[in-house]
Homo-oligomer: A and B are copies of this chain.
Amino acid sequence: MWSLVEEDGAETALARVLRGDVPDKALRAAAIAKAANLDPRRLAELTLRRAERLGARIVVPSDDEWPDRVGALATLTLEGSQRINHDVRPPLCFWVRGDWPLGETLERSVAVVGARAASSYGIHATTEIAYGLAEQNWTVVSGGAFGIDAAAHRAALAAGGRTVAVLACGVDRPYPMGNTAMFEQIAETGLLISEWPPGSEPYKHRFLIRNRVIAAATAGTVLVEAAARSGAIQTMGRVLALGRPAMVVPGPITSAMSVGCHELLRSRPDATLVTGLADVLEAVGRVGEYQAAVPRGPEHRRDTLDEESALILESVPRRGVITPEDLAARAGLSLRLVLRRLSLLELTGLIERRGTGVALARRRR
């Protein structure tokens, strides 16, 4: 359908489908079966009225607020998949609840996804990252599931930021029901969106189809926890196929909820291990905008010493003063070499001169 609409525009495409004038046999059969129940133009009218009643709008590619990034799905190729043209092309439209313009909201966005059966460790990591993203004025994007998805939305809401829930059902019947209060809050301060019209059921296969939107609409995706072969892993496959930053939070090797994360890091060299907000911002920020600080231990001055300097430093007594001559004998080095190295060690602040000898610098102790 997406290819037909691209080719002829929506109206002509609909007319062609209704009169059976399409080459794809499966599409032709499905259209005939669906049209047998209700006239599609009438169905569209009813759906639009239903959307209006619940305060939802439809956004199509020609609208100003269309999120351009999902256009990357037009050329997405998934390795080893037979379903390329069935479930990876861009959506034809989005049904939207919430006041923010869709495109602008997603322009600076990061997806945070993961397991439903998340551990407290996963919830903690998600909260830290999503809260920080929202604080830094990034929109958080996720599905609506329990576990990591809900923790990501809640953290963004708690930070007073924007969050977008991408649903696999109609925006009038968010699934799962247990998150209803959260969905209402998202509709008020963020966006609830879906490519399926109001009233649509959360069929299982729709979650996988929906995942491509999470991957394509955002600047990058963070996977926090995932069991082996979970749906979130498939989302990451789409992120990688789109060439977007695929960020993975590691965890204990003893946790079943990190097995999928570790497997992804092992099998996909283009996936990036992230340990927190700084690493995420580094991956999605414009070059130079963020730069994660390299962790440094307290002893790096000593680590950079050459062998002789290290030997001389080790030969200085812990307390008291030693002459360069005694130091040379202790270290088994020539006096000349010791004197030269002592100047450097003094410059680095590791030793200090006292009278005719040297001692360890006071602040080292």
Contact = CB atoms under 8 A, between A and B. Distances in A.
A265 B274 CA distance: 10
Interface in A250-298: 250-254, 258-260, 262-263, 265-267, 269, 272-276, 279, 294-297
Contacts of A124: 254
B307 A83 contact: yes
A223 to B, nearest CB: 13
16 contacts: A26-B308, A30-B337, A37-B329, A37-B332, A82-B306, A86-B307, A124-B254, A203-B311, A204-B314, A228-B295, A229-B296, A229-B299, A252-B252, A265-B273, A266-B272, A266-B279
Nearest to A314: B203
A227 interface: yes
A253 B208 CA distance: 28
A21 B228 CA distance: 65
Contact of A273 (B29, B86, B260, B266): B266
A354 interface: no
Interface string A154-181: 0000000000000000000000000000
Contacts of A269: 269
A35 to B, nearest CB: 10
Given A26-B337, A251-B252, 9 more contacts: A26-B334, A204-B302, A227-B297, A229-B295, A229-B299, A234-B303, A250-B251, A251-B253, A263-B295
A328 interface: yes
